[in-house]
Amino acid sequence: MNASRNPLCARLGIELPVVLAPLGGESASAALVAAVSNAGGLGILGAAYMTPARMDEVLAEIRSLTDKPFGVNLFCPQEWKCDAAREAAFVAQLSVYHAELGMAAPQIPERFEEDFESQFDTVLKAAPAVFTFTFGDLGRDRIAALQQRGTQVWGTATQVREAVHLASLGVDGIVAQGAEAGAHRGTFLGSRDEGLVGTIALVPQVVDAVKVPVVAAGGIADARGVGAVQALGASAAAAGTVFLLADECPISSAYREALQQGQDHETVMTRAFSGRWARGLDNRFMREFAAAELPDFPIPNALTRPLRQAAGKAGRAEFLSLWAGQAVALSKRAPAAEIVKNLAAGWRDE
Ligand SMILES: Cc1cc2nc3c(=O)[nH]c(=O)nc-3n(C[C@H](O)[C@H](O)[C@H](O)COP(=O)(O)O)c2cc1C
């Protein structure tokens, strides 16, 4: 394709309007981000769960692997409160699973999340080509500070009113995350259900509502999905789930096998692992915690981490957060560069 005719590609200096959507947690990998950028797309690092020191290391590793543009993603700080009774009930429930895996009883960690301001300072210093955020509103001042360092800022919206709000703060692009998407919903206005707008409905309405480029995400897993979002007016296509099966993605074999068997009807919305709504392959943990009164995000996320890590090592997929989007069955094991090429084949010359 002729990248110079796509304004988003031209502005970023990338060849293909294909984005590796940020994948936080165990799937965050310098090798994957660099492979996507080296293949002509834009790799974005999901850094939300990293300490600032770890972010520095991973960013240096990405830079050692590519001189192409790449992005970094963080979660916007959330308001949450401790509720000792809920925490205690959750820990008591979790301890049954710990015992089943032969683990010591769950402990309350020193902190439930990383310090956002330090993470943000790390991004400011690193000045990546793109910074993306989800779960809310980064604030005008932070957006402007990034832009002054030459970083383009994209905010995640799951409905038109969120996109309009983010655009009013001066973002350079909107990631329109449809309901099909794997893992956490970016929704920050209204209820969970209000934020479950499908990609085919969301993208053209966001395109009509804002003046900045729109990056479509949610259910895009092959050239057909990319062609579809181009027709809907998107400036680029972002994919997450399909890259989980990339050779460079360091997920556990239990997670990989579950993804390889996953079907479209098997992903469901859950709060079980983290306290925040997310889409993943249904499993025992989700079912058994479906009715639980959970502490606020990010408390359950921190409390379930040791169990998830042990389950990954033990090959026990029933205790893993098997984040996956509705197009999971279109994903196939391949090098990231091949996945980028397959996706980009759907973008027609502009
Ligand atoms: C395993 C996994 C982890 C994710 N982590 C993040 C994250 O840290 N930050 C974020 O903004 N989005 C995250 N997402 C959402 C993706 O960026 C993107 O919106 C989604 O994957 C697109 O839909 P798809 O999975 O159908 O391709 C994650 C998705 C997956 C599957």
Q: Which pLDDT does position 4 carry in this prediction?
A: 55
Residue 243 maps to a domain: yes
Does some domain include residue 294? yes
Q: Residue 307: what pLDDT?
A: 97
**Is 19 within a domain?**
yes
Cα of 291 from ligand 1 centre, angstroms: 25
pLDDT attached to residue 78: 87
Ligand 1, atom 7, lies closest to the CA of 24
- Residue nearest to ligand 1 atom 21, measured at CA: 240
Please indicate, yes or no, if residue 151 is contained in any of the structural domains.
yes
Q: Tell me how far the alpha carbon of residue 102 lies from the centroid of ligand 1, in angstroms.
A: 31
pTM of the model: 0.97
Number of domains in the chain: 1
Question: Would 253 be classed as within a structural domain?
Answer: yes
Domain presence at residue 349: no
Chunked into runs of 10 residues, the chain (350 residues) has average pLDDT values of 78 98 97 98 98 98 98 95 92 96 94 96 98 97 98 98 98 98 98 98 98 98 98 98 98 98 98 97 96 94 97 97 98 98 95
Dihedral angle at the C-alpha atoms of 269, 138, 154, 323, nearest 10 degrees? -20
pLDDT (0 to 100) of residue 323:
98
Distance (Å, rounded) from C-alpha 318 to C-alpha 130?
36
The pLDDT assigned to 2 comes to 59
CA of 164 to the centre of ligand 1 (A): 21
Residue in 43, 49, 4 with CA at minimum distance from that of residue 308: 49
Given this model, what pLDDT does residue 322 score? 98
Residue 276 lies in a domain: yes
In a domain, 286, yes or no: yes
CA pair distance 300, 184, nearest whole angstrom: 14
Residue owning the nearest CA to atom 10 of ligand 1? 22
Structure tokens at 246: 């990339």
Ligand 1 atom nearest residue 218's Cα? 23
pLDDT of residue 1: 60
- Ligand 1 pocket, Cβ-based, cut-off 6 angstroms: 21-25, 27, 46, 48, 73, 134, 156, 177, 180-183, 217-220, 239-241, 244, 323, 325, 327
Protein residue whose Cα sits closest to atom 28 of ligand 1: 23
Residue numbers of the domain that contains 219: 3-344
Q: Whose CA is nearest to atom 12 of ligand 1?
A: 22
Distance 105 CA to ligand 1 centre (A): 30
Look up the CATH number of the domain holding residue 316: 3.20.20.70
- Distance in Å, CA 256 to ligand 1 centroid: 16
